[in-house]
Amino acid sequence: MRVARLETLVLIAAALGSTGGVAQTVYKCGNTYSQLPCPGAAVAINPDARTAAQKAQADLATARDARTAAAMEKSRLLQEKADLAANAPPTPAKASSASKPRKSELKKKKKKDADHLKRHTPPVKKQTAVKPGAKASSPS
């Protein structure tokens, strides 16, 4: 993992270092700037008028800011880890006898279910028994 990071940093540094050598000449034509010279065009001068000491100071400030940002990120990650640990859901405990319903509660529940069925089930009509030897009437 560290080798991949090192290789990545080297490639990024090489890419950044190679971009400075490809700058193009910019011409000032009146109030506009162009890559192509126009009649009476003047070569635009780099507007960066900083001294070497000012550039070094800016580079030091950039490096300091990068270190501060890395320290802040590390602190944030540690805080997030602590918050996750503090707010993690509790692990489920093994089922104990206290969590099981009692026999009396089960009986009450069964009785309640039976009462519900009695109230919502239509009554069944009793069929009358036909006596032996009697004729059954048939609707015609």
pLDDT tens, residue by residue, 1-42: 566 787 887 778 777 766 655 567 888 888 888 888 888 888
pTM to 2 decimals? 0.34
Length of the chain: 140
Sequential DSSP letters for the chain: -HHHHHHHHHHHHHHHHHHGGGPPP-EEETTEEESS--TT-EEPPP-----HHHHHHHHHHHHHHHHHHHHHHHHHHHHHHHHHHHTPPPPPPPP-TTTSPPHHHHHHHHHHHHHHHHHHSPPPPPPPPPPTTPPPP---
pLDDT tens, residue by residue, 51-71: 889 989 999 999 999 999 999
pLDDT given at position 60: 96
The first and second tokens of residue 66, run together, are 């990068």
